[in-house]
């Protein structure tokens, strides 16, 4: 079973609109959660990391929440730009162990003019 599930799998938004991405996970222990942006054919760029039991972060037009009790995170993109077109990957990290990071399969966001 997939340990980190993201939804929707893909979405299309018009430039200037807001969008929300969801991440549900079953990883234990869940030391932290990170959201990455991956442009097509490129590496992963970290957007934010959430650590606390109930956490909120903000990085420009990106904001995120984490609820460890619910094992749920959201990523909000405000006033989308064409450059926001990418795949957004949710990653859950354990404090120790061989598999240090558990990756979701991503949400592909397409921003149209």
Q: Which is nearer to another protein, 45 or 79 (CB)?
A: 45
- Which spans of this chain sit near another protein (rule: CB under 8 A)? 4, 31-32, 34, 36, 41-46, 49, 89, 93, 95-101, 103-106
CB of 24 to another protein, least distance (A): 14
Q: Measured from the CB atom, is 77 or 88 closer to another protein?
A: 88
Judged by CB, which is closer to another protein: 28, or 96? Answer: 96
Q: Given 3-state DSSP classes, what are the helix, strand and coil percentages for the chain, each rounded to the nearest 5?
A: 5, 60, 40
Establish how many alpha carbons lie within 13 A of residue 41's alpha carbon, considering only the half-sphere containing its beta carbon: 0
The tokens for 55 are: 């956490």
Contact 19, 86 (CB under 8 A): no
């Amino acid at each position: 079973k997939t340990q980190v599930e993201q939804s929707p799998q893909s979405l299309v938004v018009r430039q200037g609109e807001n969008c929300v991405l969801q991440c549900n996970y079953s990883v234990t222990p869940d030391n932290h959660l990170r959201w990455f942006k991956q442009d097509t054919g490129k590496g992963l760029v970290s957007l934010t990391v959430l650590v606390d039991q109930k956490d909120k972060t903000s990085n420009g037009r990106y904001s995120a929440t984490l609820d460890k009790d619910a094992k749920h995170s959201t990523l909000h993109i405000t006033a989308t730009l064409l450059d926001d077109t990418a795949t957004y990957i949710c990653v859950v990290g354990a404090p120790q162990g061989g598999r240090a990071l558990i990756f979701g399969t991503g949400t592909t966001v397409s921003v149209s003019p």
